[in-house]
Chain A
Amino acid sequence: MQGTGTTGVQQEPDLSVDIAGVRLSNPVLTASGTFGSGLEYSEFVDLNQLGAVTTKGVSLVPWEGNPTPRVTEVYGGMLNAIGLQNPGIEVFVQRDLQFLEAYDTRVIVNVCGHTLEEYLGVVERLQDEKRVDLLEINVSCPNVRKGGMAFGTNPAMLEKITREIKAVAKQPVIMKLTPNVTSIAELARAAEAGGADGISLINTITGMKIDVERQQFVLANRTGGMSGPAIHPIAVRMVWEAANAVKIPVIGMGGVSTAEDALEMMLAGASAVAVGAANFHDPETTIQVIDGIRDYAVRHHLGSIREIIGAVRDR
């Protein structure tokens, strides 16, 4: 790693990072689906301090989502099968984007669909929305029967949908990848080949919980996506594999709850890091992670936090 033992008096370290030409004031974002559109957590967190807010997945029309129970706790994490309930793109633009107008942070809009046409419809609707800095395309949700992960597990399909979305999108396009594949590197390369401006990973890992007393599935959907601190080492490994497979920037996520977790992701090759389920354990997690990254940069005499991106070495 560079940066240790550099000369000169330590200035306030530069925490800004660049994702597909978009400058973020720091590398800490929220993970889609764990933060609404920021409103619910704005009572706990000054959204202006975040590198970006990634909004809950939005589709062309309102989606009902799955039956309940939709969430359950597991050791070191949780399972969810929300099923991408959302109010649809029109209400999202009028209400949620409008709300975010008041904040000086970047906005990443997570886009979902059952069909390619639905994804394209949302992307097209957002073309002229100036508040949107980046698009994150959800081709990795394990909890919807059509679309979602079905698009994100087949490299040829992923490359095609990426190319079609890029043809319509006016903002840079980040493809959000699922960990529920044999080779994440192959999927990362497919997204890059399709023209993606970046990739984000990991979405949740498909899991299951059974109520042994009732001998029933706990979740109505039977399976759910696992998130939380327990999945973090898996996410770090996949971020490292993906970052080494492509040249486009990587946004790392999966079980990040401390600055150390976020720094691991960056050393593995992530240009930015998202905090997800940890928001549920402590709504102030994002701010603690930013503070911890700043402390680390000072302690390691980094002029810029960008110095550590992908800097992990063999012993």
Chain B
Amino acid sequence: MKKLQQMLVLNNEVLTPGVYSMELAYPAGQEPVDIRPGQFVGVYCRDGSRLLPRPISICSWNYAEDEERSGGNGGGVRSLRLVYRTAGAGTRELAGLHAGEQVRVLGILGNGYDLSLLEGKRVLLMAGGIGAPPMLGLARECSRRKAAVTAVLGYRSVPLFLKEEFEQYGQVIIATDDGSAGVHGTVLDGAAMLESGAADAGKTARTSVTGSRAEEQSGTKEYEPEGQADAPCDVICACGPLPMLRSVKGLAEKWKVPCYISMEEHMACGVGACLGCVVKTAHKDAHSQVNNARICTEGPVFNAAEIVF
């Protein structure tokens, strides 16, 4: 569902220097029925010299009634939470919005994560920098679906953002480029902790899910590889800079687990018309008839095996 609407800013606050959290409410009657983690919106600037919508991933969302959905019968989405970093004049304009102001928003856009592939699994979430926000919503939805969530969050340095919120949903491993918190290194170094130190915990968890996993295996999609015997997770989901995603794909290949990654690229229209934000794919894409998929439309979430880095 692609819609264009004016949304009300409920709050817009600094999390850490340069990183903001903004909650936007839908006008009555225009609430989307549901959202999948990994989807995004395009936020327009008021200043007409800034032509293009800013693609910002949805961090989390609230349903119309402040209660858990009952059997998928949500009353619709009431508000969105966007967590974004100020990177230029456009995002600085967004950072200056106050509660009570209106902002024009395009979307919900993109495909999002397929939660049916994550339900009941040991899910490893890997996020680098401002790739963390969409992983938070994913952590919540995984946890609601009885998945065992481990999140490896990479930052440049302290202060960290969203860490405590991730801790609500599972184990959190921190990695920082400068060693100011957690593991000194990248999310790959953080994930290495799971292979060595935390291996015992991983094995315990694995035993408990082996039964259901074996049953599911018969009906799973063909591209899902059989996990390596001592792999510390059943599936990886990742969002972050391109070099990180490339490494994460390598890790998933080593562990022989499926891997879903959220891609980003310079974007213009956001709705699949301009072909600005494509990514090289292993197979010919049905829309383009060439090995280019549109990140805004076929993505931003892709099976890593399908992406040619």
Contacts and interface: CB of A to CB of B under 8 A. Distances in A.
Interface of A: 33-36, 40-41, 43-44, 56, 62-65, 68-73, 75-78, 80, 82, 85-88, 91, 218, 228-230, 257, 277-284
B275 A70 contact: yes
B43 to A, nearest CB: 12
A70 B269 contact: no
B288 interface: yes
How many B residues touch the partner, as a band?
A: 35 or more
Nearest to A219: B266
B231 interface: no
Contacts of B276: 68, 70-71, 80, 82
A86 B18 CA distance: 39
A71 B148 CA distance: 39
A85 B44 contact: no
Contacts of A41: 271, 273
A65 to B, nearest CB: 6
B160 to A, nearest CB: 24
B17 interface: no
A279 B265 CA distance: 20
A35 B276 CA distance: 12
B111 to A, nearest CB: 15
B267 interface: yes
| Shortest beta-carbon contacts, A-B, top 7 | A71-B276, A87-B289, A36-B273, A40-B273, A62-B289, A69-B266, A71-B268
A103 to B, nearest CB: 16
Contacts of B205: none
B75 interface: no
Nearest to A278: B51
B287 interface: yes
B268 A78 contact: yes
A277 B53 CA distance: 12
Contacts of B1: 43
Nearest to A74: B51
Interface string B45-60: 0001111110000000
Nearest to B2: A43
Given A40-B273, A78-B52, A70 B2 contact: no
Given A229-B48, A284-B4, A71 B267 contact: yes
Contact of A281 (B48, B266, B275, B291): B48
Contacts of B268: 71, 78, 80, 277, 280
Interface of B: 1-4, 44, 48-53, 90, 104, 106, 265-279, 287-292, 297
Contacts of A75: 49
A73 B274 contact: no
Contact of A69 (B3, B51, B265): B265
A76 B274 contact: no
Given A43-B2, A85-B292, A65 B275 contact: yes
A78 B51 contact: yes
Contact of B269 (A40, A43, A86, A91): A40
A51 B272 CA distance: 22
* Most chain B C-beta atoms within 10 Å of own C-beta, residue among A41, A85, A279: A85
* Most chain A C-beta atoms within 10 Å of own C-beta, residue among B265, B270, B273, B288: B273
A82 B275 contact: yes
B135 to A, nearest CB: 23
A35 B274 CA distance: 7
Contacts of A78: 51-52, 268
Given A73-B52, A87-B288, A279 B273 contact: yes
A277 B275 contact: no
Given A64-B291, A70-B278, A280-B53, 9 more contacts: A34-B273, A40-B271, A68-B277, A68-B278, A68-B279, A69-B266, A76-B48, A82-B276, A280-B52
Contacts of B267: 71
Given A63-B290, A73-B50, A283 B266 contact: no
* Most chain A C-beta atoms within 10 Å of own C-beta, residue among B2, B53, B266, B274: B274
B261 to A, nearest CB: 16
Contacts of B291: 64
